[in-house]
Amino acid sequence: MPSSEAWWRDAVIYQIYPRSFADSDGDGMGDLPGITARLPQLRRLGVDAVWLSPFYPSPQHDAGYDVADYRGVDPRFGSLGDADKLITTAHELGLKIIVDLVPNHTSSDHVWFQAALNAEPGSPERERYIFRDGKGAGGNEPPNSWQSVFGGSAWERLPGGQWFLHLFDVSQPDLNWDHPEVRAEFLDILRFWLDRGVDGFRVDVAHGLIKDADLTDWTSPATVLGGLEPAGPPPPMWDQEGVHEIYRQWRAVLDGYPGGRILVAEAWVQPEERLARYVRPDEMHQAFNFPYLETPWKPAELRAVIDSSLAANSSVGATTTWVLSNHDVVRHASRLGFPIGEPRKPGIGADDPQPDTGLGLRRARAATLLMLALPGSAYLYQGEELGLPEHTTLADEYREDPAWERSGHAEKGRDGCRVPIPWEADAPSYGFGPTDASWLPQPAVWSEYALDRQVDVPGSTYELYRSALAARREHALGSGVLTWSDTSEKVLSFRNGDLLALTNFGAEPVGLPSGARVLLTSEPLDADGRVPSDVTVWAVV
């Protein structure tokens, strides 16, 4: 396991979505004691660190990303004592713990916002958020044209009074990061969790804290998940210069603690050169590589984004990260089962075109093996080691993602990738908890993917992940150097140290170099020892 101050540079970090990982008390909601009990399985899998999505007190209008108290634990998930035990147990197992921090907005239930609602315009309480008078007769029109990422206006009016900004759900008012009290509060929050032993923070919407001072109108569709033009100035609500001063202050706090504490940016920023500015030596340590996640299953385009990612991060001395799935996107075992390059709205519903499940898993296994051979740090999302697909037939009545309602049901939302994961095929809730309760219904097919159906089963997706993580560590791939081999328009092939990674994107099998000793394959080779379509091979040459 990594032991140096720079453990994060080549780490494999596993994302846990607490609601859906493990339920200890049978109420249908995952919790911190459930996570703690399952940590040995993650140690056996071979990851280096665990990132926890929010577990703070929250009304749960956006699955915990609407935080009411940054120094507590929601009773649904346990207590501060449970958090302390989780951190201690993880460290005893050699695992690092990263927690989510949501600084762009609070919950509307937060004590600060409740005070703002009861205060007058221009009061100190309202200055912590972004309140403005409206336009038009009687101030009846929003202050500007900004739209919420979840659909509709980004402004909500108080009865007969001012408007407040919410770039996400109406229950998530944006903080005013030009206010010194906001900055001081979050420095204290960082210290609170660092003192409890956490090893780092994943920073939600890291590119959104500072807004254009003039709140300039912006008429393009609102999105935080990419899609913005890389050329030209950033939108007035994203990637403003002032965010970098904030993260320099945060970095100074973390550098005062031992053990290599880290900051990880969720920053949907284009191009990669602008994203790299978040990971300069005095700012954050890592940033999620969303351009890589969004790249279609095409060798030339994958090679291009790998090259540009490595070059941009190298220019500031940072490590590159790689990711294929998380709690905000369609799981890659389903995403890769659609025709290559086919545009779709977020989420998949029962009435939408369905992915090819077999093809999706085949490509997902190949994509994972390709990703884990790259130098840098890799992020895994809970359940992908089981080959879990998206829940594409979730009944609309169960949907909780605010994007579902705010988009007028045009977007299915993110619930399909957040369904509780299966541990035991024949247990209640497939081992998620001790009862059949599950906050989102699990599909019957989950039994086929349960962990106990895959452990020690040659060729299972779980054993592929476990073998790949062990070989990745043995061959020091995370700290290696990539060198491209001879490739064609249908093959992607590179060396990292003594390992050759080759992925066949074409329809016909391809041969391996003479004398290659195969270490691992995402699917079996053909009878002649050639690499079939949509298969990745690791070999020593």
Read off the pLDDT of residues 500-537 as tens digits, 9 standing for 90 and up: 999 999 999 999 999 999 999 999 999 999 999 999 99
End-to-end C-alpha distance for the chain, whole angstroms: 27
Q: pLDDT band at 222, cuts 50/70/90?
A: low
What is residue 455's predicted lDDT score, i.e. its pLDDT? 98
Q: How far apart are CA 238 and CA 453, in angstroms?
A: 45
Does the structure show a pLDDT above 90 at 226? no
Residue 453, SS3 per DSSP: helix
Does the structure show a pLDDT above 70 at 137? yes
Catalytic residue among 239, 266, 283, 534: 266
Report percent pLDDT > 90 for the chain. 89
Averaged over 441-456, what is the pLDDT? 97
pTM: 0.95
Mean pLDDT, the chain, as a whole number?
94
What is residue 495's predicted lDDT score, i.e. its pLDDT? 97
What is residue 489's predicted lDDT score, i.e. its pLDDT? 84
Q: What are 294-323's pLDDT values in tens digits? A: 999 999 999 999 999 999 999 999 999 999
Cα-only R_g, the chain = 23
What is residue 221's predicted lDDT score, i.e. its pLDDT? 63
Q: What are 228-259's pLDDT values in tens digits? A: 555 667 889 999 999 999 999 999 999 999 99
What is residue 91's predicted lDDT score, i.e. its pLDDT? 98
Catalytic residue among 204, 283, 385, 390: 204
Phi, psi of 27 (to 5 degrees): -90, 0
- The dihedral over CA atoms of 219, 221, 224, 227, expressed in degrees to the nearest 10, equals -110
Does the structure show a pLDDT above 50 at 3? no
Does the structure show a pLDDT above 70 at 1? no
- With tokens 């004590």, the residue in question is 111
Averaged over 467-495, what is the pLDDT? 94
- Name the segment(s) of the chain with CATH classification 3.90.400.10: 111-165
Domain spanning 12-104+181-461, CATH architecture: Alpha-Beta Barrel (3.20)
What is residue 225's predicted lDDT score, i.e. its pLDDT? 45
Q: How far apart are CA 111 and CA 113, in angstroms?
A: 6
- Name the segment(s) of the chain with CATH classification 2.60.40.1180: 482-540
CB of 262 within 8 A of CB of 200? yes
What is residue 2's predicted lDDT score, i.e. its pLDDT? 41
- 482-540: CATH, from 1.20.58.220, 3.90.950.20, 3.20.20.70, 2.60.40.1180: 2.60.40.1180
Homologous superfamily (CATH) for 111-165 = Oligo-1,6-glucosidase; Domain 2 (3.90.400.10)
What is residue 223's predicted lDDT score, i.e. its pLDDT? 62
Strand arrangement of the beta sheet that strand 131-132 belongs to:
131-132, 163-165, 155-157
Does the structure show a pLDDT above 90 at 271? no
Q: pLDDT band at 346, cuts 50/70/90?
A: confident
Q: pLDDT band at 343, cuts 50/70/90?
A: confident
Averaged over 446-454, what is the pLDDT? 98
Q: Where are the alpha helices (DSSP H) in 231-387?
A: 243-255, 272-276, 290-294, 299-314, 332-335, 357-372
Q: How far apart are CA 45 and CA 42, in angstroms?
A: 5
| Tokens standing for residue 229 | 């033009």
4: number of Cβ within 10 Å: 9
Residue 501, SS3 per DSSP: strand
Q: How far apart are CA 287 and CA 269, in angstroms?
A: 10
What is residue 488's predicted lDDT score, i.e. its pLDDT? 78
204 is catalytic: yes
Q: What are 385-420's pLDDT values in tens digits? A: 999 999 999 999 999 998 888 888 988 999 999 999
Report percent pLDDT > 70 for the chain. 97
- Name the segment(s) of the chain with CATH classification 3.20.20.80: 12-104+181-461
Strand arrangement of the beta sheet that strand 535-540 belongs to:
482-484, 491-496, 499-504, 535-540, 517-521
156 is catalytic: no
CB of 241 within 8 A of CB of 210? yes
